[in-house]
Amino acid sequence: MNFDLTDEQQMMRDSFARFLDDTSSMVRVRAANETGGFDAEMWRGLAELGAFGMRVPEAAGGMGLGLFDATLLMEEAGRTLVSGPLAEVLVAARLLGQLGGESHGDLLGRVVAGEAVASIALHDLREQPKQWIGGGAVAETVVARRGDAVVLVEVTASARKAEDNLSSTPLAEIDLGALKSTTLASGSAAVAAFDAAIEEWKLLIAAGLSGIGRESLRLASAYANERKQFGQLIGTFQGISHPLADLICEVDGGKFLVWKAIRDIADRSDEAGAAISLAFWYSSQAAGRSVAQALHTFGGYGLTTEYDIHLFTLRAKAWPLVFGDPQRCLEEAARRIYSGEAAQLPDAGEVPIDFDLGDEARAMVEEINEFFRTKVTDEMRAKFHYSWEGYVPEVHKALAEAKLLFLGLPQELSGRNITPYAKIAAMGAFEHNGYNTPAANVAAMVAMIMHRFGSDELKREVLPRVLNGDALCSLGYSEPGSGSDVFAAQCRATPDGNGWRIDGTKMFTSGANLADYVLMLTRTNTEVPKHKGLTMFIVPLKAEGVTIQPVYTFQDERTNITFYDGVRIPDSWRLGGVDEGVRTMSASLELEHGGGFGKVMRKMIEAAEELSREIQWQGRPLIEDLQAQVRLARSTAHLWISEMLTYRSQWASVEKKPNFAYGPMSKMYSSEKFLSDSRDLLDLTAPLSLSKREGAAALVNQCYRHAQGTTIYGGTSEVHRSMIAEKGLGLPRTRA
């Protein structure tokens, strides 16, 4: 797996960034806007850096770089609001190099040198001879498709009349059918090259929108770190910081859809065509929402032309809308997924980004799949559930014996020496087989903490039982008066002879009815700041003074409220130092890889697809209805982004990269989309989805109920939004 650029790509990106910081500053952008939206001096500088020849084949005198390289340039172009039709020229120059031959070599040379502008018509001239052309006001020629031919249209000065528009770009509506044209190439190969160029343009624009969206959020965050209201920086208000946190996930999600599309093109994946369409649609929506929220952060000042944010607000809409309504691309993606509509794919070139976990990971997955094929009966499988209710003792014990139970732990505890990526793949394999019960995950966490901080007695008497699959552990963090704020714990541990006495109540002690031990966070000091007066213990749940009462949820699962009345334990069952519970808790973070809900989202979509094939709507299967396809495709976009955010978090953890709240981004985004999509797909497949009948209906029904809790447990979305705002956007702390 790799989310890094090559050294050469980083150098190229830095070079373009430095150049554009100078020549596409907001002062220069404003000046260009007053004179038609085109900066000729900047344009010549881009040419000198080789920008326009990036995608031109080497055989035609270009650089022959990959599509991914071009998207890096477009991100910087979006960040700096480049004054010129960069995406259009990149694809037009490539087409000239592919189809033009020697007869058009002079034109290509002038375009690459920045001496002439060539743009592209986004729709077939047979259907739309009169079109809006990006850069049409400065274009000397337009590459267009007319039926089975690709033509060059010579644009006269009178035809490329500029007019005022939303973002002061060099946009023009041109009657291309009325102008002189010459055939560049004809036939199926020529048409395929042109259609592929349109797909490439979508990805380039999507990448540019990612740059616009991220920079607008940076501007808003910087302002929120300066502006005060009610005596506080406005960035401390969650009403300001939380929407920005949501949107940085959206913007990164759009970028990762572009990356996925390019990787899919290189791999010739069946998902490539739909990924292109979804990347364009999603990035258009994400950028539009981001600039709007960023401007809102500035308040009334954002409406004035003195503040740069208005430039981003307008440009975010100007770039994609030359194609038309981006919603059409969501419909296009739906047809590509569900109606077999084909897409011409551009050549991707070299792609450094890779989401493959490797051969060892595949072998690990096969071993786990083989275990469930040969060791698990239908009766056992019938008990599987996403919650603690899915704990099956026989399966748990057998996994331990096969050394498959605790693969996320170090070798001395797991008995395996596998790479981090193989461990990640194993987690996915367990989810695929439906056995991802929290019982094993919590036991692994507690085992790690005992291994690090436990006494010899704990390591001798308790740790082996957990590792052998003979004992379970639950977590005693939350209390009736403190959910996500675990540092507010009031359950007391007081010295008692050579040991401790535990008194208090814990809420949501899931699995306590099945477990032997609870990992408990207690208050041991009330005279220091609350996070400094905590100590952790292992407490046996069968001890005298422990009472467990069930709390049932509508998600088909049980949790518990647990009471501790004078429970006595020896000091040897303490984990870490007295009043050092926070330090002890941090050990569990090594097991965190930014998990999300992609696997269950995928199963939910597959179940909704199955129901849509069964349900009849207006005399045909619902799956054939375009609007049904659109809703399924939208959920698919959310799934793919959830997976990509999770991959990034896992990669950053494994490779020890700087972490800008990637884990919280993965969890928060995927849980929120799981929740919203579960509602929508329940609606889509109604009334059948109301049933709990076995199969797809029961799963869609369950997912709606399951999703409600995913934004709460493991840290609420609000807590994660605060973490994203602070670490990902540099906003001030929003919690006391």
Distance CA 219, CA 186 (A): 47
Per-residue b/e over 530-547, b at no fewer than 16 CB within 10 Å? beebbbbbbbbbeeeebe
Number of helical (H) and strand (E) elements in the chain, helices listed first: 26, 18
Distance CA 643, CA 597 (A): 8
pLDDT of residue 102: 84
Backbone phi, psi, residue 450, to 5°: -65, -40
pTM of the model: 0.95
- Looking at CATH, the fold of the domain delimited by 473-591 is given as Butyryl-CoA Dehydrogenase, subunit A; domain 2 (2.40.110)
Distance CA 431, CA 437 (A): 9
Helix axes 272-298, 188-224, angle to 10 degrees: 30
Distance CA 18, CA 731 (A): 25
Per-residue b/e over 420-430, b at no fewer than 16 CB within 10 Å? bbbbbbbbbbb
> Which candidate, 139, 128, 182, places its Cα nearest to that of 161?
139
pLDDT of residue 592: 47
* Full DSSP string of 497-523: TTEEEEEEEEE--TTTTT-SEEEEEEE
Whether 214-338 and 598-729 share one fold: the answer is yes
Residue 137 near residue 161 (C-beta atoms within 8 A): yes
pLDDT of residue 85: 98
Query: E strands along 176-244, which residues?
Result: 181-186, 228-229, 232-233
DSSP-derived 3-state class of residue 76: helix
Distance CA 210, CA 509 (A): 42
Amino acid at 70: A
Angle CA(652)–CA(654)–CA(655) in degrees, nearest 5?
Answer: 65
Backbone phi, psi, residue 246, to 5°: -55, -45
In the chain, where are the structural domains located?
7-194, 214-338, 473-591, 598-729
| CATH 2.40.30.10 applies to domain 214-338 | no
Amino acid at 335: R
Residue 301 near residue 307 (C-beta atoms within 8 A): yes
> Which candidate, 107, 93, 95, 85, places its Cα nearest to that of 52?
93
Architecture per CATH, domain 598-729, reads as Up-down Bundle (1.20)
Give me 53's structure tokens.
């020849």
The DSSP output letter for 295 is: H
* Full DSSP string of 405-461: S-TTS-HHHHS----HHHHHHHHHHHHHTT---HHHHHHHHHHHHHHHH--HHHHHH
Give me 261's structure tokens.
């599309």
Give me the residues paired with residue 474 across strands: 518
Helix axes 272-298, 238-267, angle to 10 degrees: 160
Domain 7-194 CATH class label: mainly alpha
Which parts of the chain register pLDDT below 70? 483-484, 587-594, 735-736
DSSP-derived 3-state class of residue 550: strand
Give me the residues paired with residue 504 across strands: 564
Residue 264 near residue 636 (C-beta atoms within 8 A): no
Residue 471 near residue 462 (C-beta atoms within 8 A): yes
